[in-house]
Chains A and B, each alone.
Chain A
């Protein structure tokens, strides 16, 4: 199975600060069809996860453009350009290229 390793496990930030989260895969996530199915989710406390970014860098409808994704192959990054209070929670990467699907361990974003 594909293992997704997220770093750091915890991130402390002030409002307005820019932060990045890394997601590294044990195998390339480039699908044979040329797409890369690496997505980013945010789970706020007590809520269901919310899709932020799909296919590495595509912003889900309604998600603020301070969120951006990049990467290829096995290394991926989620960047938040100017953290806001509503961004606090746990971020997960998830891969949809290989079966079975797998999630990263999560990165908790908290206020410094």
Chain B
């Protein structure tokens, strides 16, 4: 069945770079897009970016200068890298498949010294 699972450090220092991995199973990355969505504590959902089945990417306009999404299709993994982290980047980060029908459980990232 379709599954997605996020992994990464729970704590990142301000100004450092966040690296997250979304490991998927049950579908092919060359046939489906994967999106990253984040949710600050107590707030709503924010679309972060996506990597499409062909490998191209789209990013949230406000995050574009700090963000990179890539993938390794042989390992069924999608990667998110965001630099110059600030406290306002503290959030649960989810990965989700195209169509938003399948979601990972999310991983909490706290930006703090």
A: residues with CB less than 8 A from B are 1, 39, 41, 43, 48-51, 54, 60, 90, 92, 94, 96, 99-106
Contact = CB atoms under 8 A, between A and B. Distances in A.
Q: How big is the B interface, by class?
A: 20 to 34
Nearest to A1: B61
Nearest to A54: B99
B94 A103 contact: no
Contacts of A103: 37, 44-47
Nearest to B63: A100
B99 A49 contact: no
A103 B44 CA distance: 8
B101 A48 contact: no
B44 A48 contact: no
Given A49-B45, A101-B50, A103-B45, 6 more contacts: A48-B105, A49-B103, A51-B100, A54-B99, A100-B60, A103-B37
Contacts of B100: 39, 41, 49, 51, 54, 94, 96
Contacts of B104: 48
B101 A106 contact: no
A60 B101 contact: yes
A20 B94 CA distance: 27
A79 to B, nearest CB: 20
